[in-house]
Amino acid sequence: GDSVTQMEGPVTLSEEAFLTINCTYTATGYPSLFWYVQYPGEGLQLLLKATKADDKGSNKGFEATYRKETTSFHLEKGSVQVSDSAVYFCALSDGSSASKIIFGSGTRLSIRP
């Protein structure tokens, strides 16, 4: 079945460092890909999404490009801030429903001032 694999955490960076969180997927069709973020004590928020190959999703300085040839959707940010500390989830949807989402295991990111 469909699945998502993302890099193990925790990831600890200094403020203004470059961030990459790797994500690869396995899917039989043409899924939509997402990055969700979960701040402490809160639910998930959609950070960005891409619905077809070569699409780039972006939001709040974060970017991710849907790479069909490498089945990847890596999350990047050029200069992280302390406020970016959270857990990040890569996810896919097979397109049958908004709710049937398959999530990766999550990557905890901590940013040092």
Partner 1 sequence: KAGVTQTPRYLIKTRGQQVTLSCSPISGHRSVSWYQQTPGQGLQFLFEYFSETQRNKGNFPGRFSGRQFSNSRSEMNVSTLELGDSALYLCASSLAGTAGEKLFFGSGTQLSVL
Residue selected from 28, 70, 98, 113 as contacting partner 1 according to rule CB under 8 A:
98
Number of Cα atoms under 13 Å in the Cβ half of residue 45: 12
4/16 with CB nearer partner 1: 4
Number of Cα atoms under 13 Å in the Cβ half of residue 74: 10
66/104 with CB nearer partner 1: 104
**Surface-to-core class of residue 47, CB atoms within 10 Å of its CB (0-12 exposed, 13-18 middle, 19+ buried):** buried
Q: Which of residues 29-88 bind partner 1 (CB under 8 A)?
A: 32, 41-46, 51
Provide the binding-site residues for partner 1, judged by CB under 8 A: 32, 41-46, 51, 89, 93, 95-106
